[in-house]
Amino acid sequence: MASVTLENVGKTYPNGQVAARDMDLAIQDGELVVLVGPSGCGKSTTLRMVAGLETPTAGRILIGGKDVTATPPQDRDIAMVFQTYALYPHKTVRDNLAFGLRMRRLAADEIGRRVREAARTLGLEELLDRKPAQLSGGQRQRVALGRAIVREPKAFLLDEPLSNLDAKLRLQTRAELARIHKQLGATMLYVTHDQEEAMTLGDRVAVLEDGRLQQVASPAEVYRRPANVFVAGFIGSPAMNLFRGLLQTDDEGPRFESSGCTLTSGVGTIPGRSGPAILGVRPPDIELCDRESADLSARVEVIELLGSAILVHLRATAAEEQTIRAVGPEDWEVAEDEVIGVRFNRERLHFFDGDGGRRLN
Ligand SMILES: Nc1ncnc2c1ncn2[C@@H]1O[C@H](COP(=O)(O)OP(=O)(O)OP(=O)(O)O)[C@@H](O)[C@H]1O
Ligand SMILES: [Mg+2]
């Protein structure tokens, strides 16, 4: 396996569409980095540039420390797994796995060894003599993965490989992929638009918006300290509550004021700043309280049972447009249409610049 490095990589398509801007990303040998972002943000383009299927219009790409920017795909020694995987319908699983190696004229016993090993890793041993039509979606996906594994590449590139599977199978295959990654010690760049997939699978998560990397960090870091408002809103479900307002520091210390709520205590973690700001509070960081000590009073609009927890949709009484989502224990004492007081956990407040959206605290 090998490291994969992007240095100031940019991509502008001939029609003027910019799909990647000044991208810096260093994937360590054996690391699994998940590239996540909304549709059209440039994930596939980035992956295709690493594979050699697209040429960057700026910057360099290195594999194992070697500049491959001008190297054709077949000489990069990288395996790519796509969302739509075309297996050969008339070949057995065994022949599907072996085909690429035969084309590369590997010795028969070496092919046999690699196919056996991949089949064992992926739990396909029982299925080697079946044709793709006789497999479930998840099994087919594993065969597609197997074709990448038998190549013993320097790195794996995966573009939404699970999105064709139903929810249950997606969870199963995701866990399997995590296990395979550990077992092979494989360098992987994995693309998804699903933040939950990114958080559970990645050693590190790279959040992309509009061709620009917004934050590259561990899942915990991205969740606890999002670098800006975009990352804050994109990572975590239900999404973080955001309050636009004004941050002020006067004799009584810092305070945050918005039409929905006013915070006078616990704002002190921000180095003396004043001006437009956005307060972020994650739904589980909201507590119920009496209305005297509340940061906010709100009307309960809808209560949804999530299983072990409930999701409460609220609307601030002081600002009609301000909706709030709170997650609490399933026995939380709230009722629809009731007006309640809520408090924000002071240890977990997020403040962002009202203009650029950068994290302040
Ligand atoms: N060959 C092309 N020519 C021009 N523009 C392109 C081309 N391929 C992609 N684009 C544009 O580049 C941007 C990034 O596309 P890309 O396929 O990388 O997005 P993505 O993040 O993979 O999206 P999705 O989650 O929908 O797969 C989009 O605006 C897309 O329309
Ligand atoms: Mg894509």
Pick from 235, 260, 232, 236: nearest CA to 246: 260
H helices of 202-271, in order, are 219-224, 229-234
Q: Is the CB of 45 under 6 A from ligand 1?
A: yes
Mean pLDDT over all residues of the chain? 92
- 156-170 pLDDT, tens digit per residue, is 999 998 887 788 878
Residue 271 confidence (pLDDT): 63
Instruction: Label residue 85 exposed, middle or buried (CB < 10 Å: 0-12, 13-18, 19+).
Output: middle
Is pLDDT at 73 greater than 80 in this prediction?
A: yes
Report the DSSP pairing between strands 286-289 and 78-81.
Answer: unpaired
The per-residue pLDDT for 272 is 63
Identify the residue whose tokens are 């403040």: 351
CA of 279 to the centre of ligand 2 (A): 32
Say how far apart CA 231 and CA 221 lie, in whole Å: 11
CA of 40 relative to ligand 2 center, distance in Å: 7
Give the mean pLDDT of 61-70.
97
pLDDT at 260 over 80: no
Take atom 2 of ligand 1 and give the residue whose Cα is closest: 13
Q: What is the mean pLDDT of residues 100-121?
A: 93
CA–centroid distance, 159 to ligand 2, in Å, is: 7
Q: How far is CA 205 from CA 15, 17, 333, in A?
A: 30, 25, 36
Residues facing residue 215 across a β-bridge: 207
Q: What CA–CA distance (Å, rounded) separates 57 from 90?
A: 40
Domains of the chain, each with CATH number or no CATH: 4-233 (3.40.50.300), 241-353 (2.40.50.140)
**Distance from C-alpha of 47 to C-alpha of 54, rounded to nearest angstrom:** 9
Residue 139 belongs to what H/E stretch? helix 137-149
Ligand having the closest approach to the CA of 18: 1
Report if pTM > 0.85: yes
Pocket residue to mutate for ligand 1, from 36, 43, 157, 208, most atoms within 8 A of Cβ: 43
Ligand 1 centroid to 17 CA: how many Å?
9
Taking alpha carbons only, the member of 355, 237, 243 closest to residue 295 is: 243
As a whole number, mean pLDDT of residues 102-120 equals 93
Per-residue pLDDT, 47: 97
Identify the residue whose C-alpha is closest to ligand 1 atom 12: 19
Q: What does the alpha-carbon distance between residue 132 and residue 89 come to, in Å, rounded to a whole number?
A: 6
